[in-house]
Amino acid sequence: MSVESSASGVTPVTDPAVGQSGTTKVHTAAGQPGTTKVRPGPAADTSTKHLTPRAAHPRRNTRRWALILSEFLRAVLWIPLVIVLIPAALVFHLSIPLAAEAQRALARSLGIDAPSRRPSATARGAWLSSRVTTGEFWRQDLPLCLGSIVLTTIDFFVGFVGLIAASTSLALPFVVSPQRPAEAWRYSFTSFEQCWWFFPIGLALLAVVSMVFLAVGRLRGRFVTNLSTDPNSEEMQALTQQVGDLSRGRATLVDAFEAERSRIERDLHDGAQQELVGVTMALGLARVHLEAARQAFAANPVDDPSSPQDSTSSSDTSVVLTAASDHSPGEAADIATVLMPVLADIDAAQDRAEAALRALRETVRGVRPAMLTERGLAAALQELASHSTPPAACDITGDDAAISSPVATTVYFAVAEALTNAAKHSSSSDGAQITLVCNAFEVCAVVSDNGRGGANPAAPSATGLRGIIQRVESMGGTVTIDSPIGVGTTVTITAPTTPPWRD
């Protein structure tokens, strides 16, 4: 409550009875009375904020009495339960799941967290017949039933002894008389005045029995809850979340990797490769001109003015012929001789440029073949088969339009590695056979040869085969290697058209 005073040095003295806005008398420093304005604050709220625990939590009290009543009923039904257990044990594989589900249903009716272990989509008969074959039957249902029997037995004996003693103590003061005396602890009671104190003892015994029933009910509730939920559910949820995050991360990495492959292939194809082609062509043109010059100086048209001239000679050749005519025959012959090593150097440079161009094309094909990007997996495998040594036969069935880029790249390089292994290790006189079968959901590539066989992915040197398996499995596919010794090797690569982590 905030206070505004009309005098300085005010010490407010508020009437405890005042709980509403108004004026309150205060004493100033001079002892004179003054007035203050009181603005209503939290203390001015006259609504009932302070409730008794019983009024604030009626559901909790109702639940307590429900637990006590349920345990009392279990104690009453203990003997019939024991009788039913004998025939139920003969069909325990059915009776135990039913009893466990009944325990969970009763716990749910009391507000206890005890979800049913039967999936909603599964028929009850099929679930009961197969429940005994699952681990949950032995880890959850059976312990739940055995524990319930033990707790019900405790209820029975506590209730039997406690309720008999309590009812006797409560009734004793009202039934004794001189004609019907009661004896206890060597004392004889003949009137209410002598044994009235048995009545509070009976009430205390009722309270003790109720507390025991409540404790057993709470213990049973926790027991049912723990045996009705999967102990690893939270860990499974966390692992599922992590798997989802990893799948999304893998998809991002694969997409980025494919994009980087395409960029590198495009840069090499459109950049360095085109420059090397230009250099090779320039060297070839320079050699043509130098060869024409050498021939002109070697012929020395001054010595033989009537020598025939090539009518198709270019203007550059005419210039060379004119320059050759300005020299003596000896000088022209010397110049022609000097040009010979220059021509040899140009030939060597052109050979090296062409070799570099071929190596660059092989590098580009190893990064990502342009044929794979432009025309798809089938055309790329046909090109790969034609470039292999010896050339491989290629049989294509189906349409490869549905194959995603990551899967197409994986299958292509897996087939390329299998062809490389066949060329290195099979000692086959014939080329390998490539078979590709495509549909809207799956792609299957088979690489076979008739070599010596004996391929083993577990061998320390079989890094290529292990690389094929790792590549294909990363796309959700499988690799089967059949390589009998002396028969040949067949590598079967199967993969979905779209990786599973893309779904």
- One domain, residues 200 and 102: yes
Tokens of 466: 């292990």
Assess whether 17 and 147 both reside in one domain.
no
Q: Is residue 471 domain-shared with residue 354, that is, in the same domain?
A: no
Q: Which of 343, 363, 383 is the last residue of a domain?
A: 363
Q: Are residues 299 and 151 in the same domain?
A: no
pLDDT at position 429 is 64
In terms of residue numbers, what domain contains 302? Answer: 259-363
pLDDT for 2 equals 41
- The tokens describing 403, both together, are 């194959």
Do both 354 and 425 map to the same domain? no
For residue 124, being part of any structural domain is answered with yes
Residue 92 lies in a domain: yes
The DSSP secondary-structure symbol of 44 reads G
End-to-end CA distance of the chain: 63
Residue 70, judged by CB atoms within 10 A of its CB (0-12, 13-18, 19+), counts as buried
CA dihedral 272, 274, 280, 285 (to 10 degrees): -140
pLDDT at 329: 61
What CA–CA distances, in Å, run from 403 to 30, 220, 249, 440? 97, 57, 21, 8
CATH for 461: 3.30.565.10
- Judge if 352 and 420 occupy the same domain: no
- Asked if 494 and 345 sit in the same domain, the reply is no
Q: With the C-alpha atoms ordered 94, 99, 100, 104, is the resulting torsion angle positive or negative?
A: positive
Length of the chain counted residue by residue: 503
Q: What pLDDT, on a 0 to 100 scale, did the predictor assign at position 135?
A: 85
Report the alpha-carbon distance of residue 43 to residue 40 in Å, rounded. 7
Task: Say what the pLDDT of residue 40 is.
Answer: 43
| Runs of H (alpha helix) within 268-369 | 273-299, 315-325, 329-367
Residue 50 lies in a domain: no
**203: which 2 tokens?**
């009430």
Does a structural domain hold residue 164?
yes
My answer on whether 202 and 351 are in the same domain is no
Same domain, 336 and 379: no
Domain boundary among 363, 398, 424: 363
Residue with tokens 């094929």, as numbered in its chain: 468
- Buried b or exposed e, range 339-375, using 16+ CB within 10 angstroms: beeeeeebeeebeebbeebeebbeebbebbbbbbbee
- What's the confidence (pLDDT) of residue 270? 62
CB 437 within 8 A of CB 460: no
The per-residue pLDDT for range 92-118, each reduced to its tens digit, is: 989 999 999 999 999 999 888 888 888
Say yes or no: 355 and 377 in one domain: no
Residue 231 lies in a domain: no
pTM: 0.44
Which of the listed residues 340, 363, 386 is the one where a domain comes to its end? 363
Whether residue 105 lies inside any domain: the answer is yes
Q: Are residues 148 and 192 in the same domain?
A: yes
Listed in sequence order, the residues at least 6 apart from 449 whose beta carbon sits closer than 8 Å to its beta carbon are 422, 426, 428, 430, 431, 432, 433, 488, 489
* Three-state SS at 448: strand
Residue with tokens 């020299």: 327
Q: What's the distance, CA 5 to chain centroid?
A: 68
Q: What proportion of the chain, given as a percentage, has pLDDT over 90?
A: 20
Model pLDDT for residues 110-162, shown as the tens digit of each residue = 888 888 888 888 888 888 888 889 888 998 899 999 999 999 999 999 999 99
Please give the full DSSP string across 397-410, using - where no structure is assigned.
ES--TT--HHHHHH
Residues 272 and 186 placed together within one structural domain of the fold: no
Is residue 251 situated within a structural domain? no
Residue 238 in domain: no
- Residue 236 CA to residue 148 CA, distance in Å, equals 28
Q: Hey, what amino acid is at 427?
A: S
**CA–centroid distance for 423 within its chain:** 39
Please list the ranges in the chain whose pLDDT falls under 50. Answer: 1-56, 301-315, 319-321
Per-residue model confidence (pLDDT) at position 145: 92
Q: What is the pLDDT of residues 311-363, one digit of tens each?
A: 444 445 554 445 555 555 656 566 667 667 777 777 777 777 777 767 766 66
Q: How many domains does the chain have?
A: 4
